[in-house]
Amino acid sequence: MATWNSRGLRGSTLEEFINRTNEKYLENGLALIQKVPTPITPINIDKATRHITLAYFDQKSTVDYIGAVQGIPVCFDAKECNTDTFPLQNIHEHQVVFMENFEKQMGIAFFLISFTARDEFYYLRFAKLLEFWNRAKEGGRKSFRYEELEPDFFLRKSRGVLVPYLDAMQKDLAMRD
């Protein structure tokens, strides 16, 4: 079973950038997106600082963020990758099932991926993830490469928005019509 301190601060920079982006979107009346807390059971607590030093995850989490953008239900997960190859083992079956069901309810699901070595953010459409996911299930590559990604979904730096995913989401929605 995974423990809280074994995964520590992995992804915390990306999540902080997304949290600030979501605050900016809220201030501008564009979106209401919240971080989904991961339920944990503390095992060890440092008595001096009152910080949790060891904990177990209570249950499998689904996605990192959920909310609404201009009346559209939205959920997404944030992932970091320090190479040009993203292993699909970083995405769990229960997340894919949740996102699939979310989309069946007329919501939009996606992943935000930070390619840390390139200092780039990418919006991975759920439909594109399913292509990679199904390829792996059928015995193909268990990862996808940077070169396989759709160029239009790399996020361009924007004024005051650290991870400007709304433009990519709009493109994603337009592709569904």
For residues 112 and 97, the answer to whether their CB atoms sit within 8 Å is no
Does the annotation list 95 as a binding residue? yes
Does the annotation list 77 as a binding residue? yes
Domains of the chain: 12-38+63-176 (3.40.1350.10)
Q: Does pTM surpass 0.85?
A: no
pLDDT at 3 over 60: no
- 8-35 confidence digits (pLDDT tens): 434 478 899 999 999 999 999 999 999 9
Q: What does the longest C-alpha to C-alpha distance in the chain come to? A: 57
- 75-134 confidence digits (pLDDT tens): 999 999 999 999 999 999 999 999 999 999 999 999 999 999 999 999 999 999 999 999
- The number of beta carbons lying within 10 Å of the beta carbon of residue 139 is 7
Residue 40: per-residue pLDDT = 64
Per-residue 3-state assignment (H helix, E strand, C coil) for 25-48: HHHCCCEEEEECCCCEEEEEEECC
pLDDT at 7 over 50: no
CA distance to 67, 126, 127, 171, per residue, from 176 (Å): 20, 11, 10, 9
Find where tokens 């074994």 sit: 6
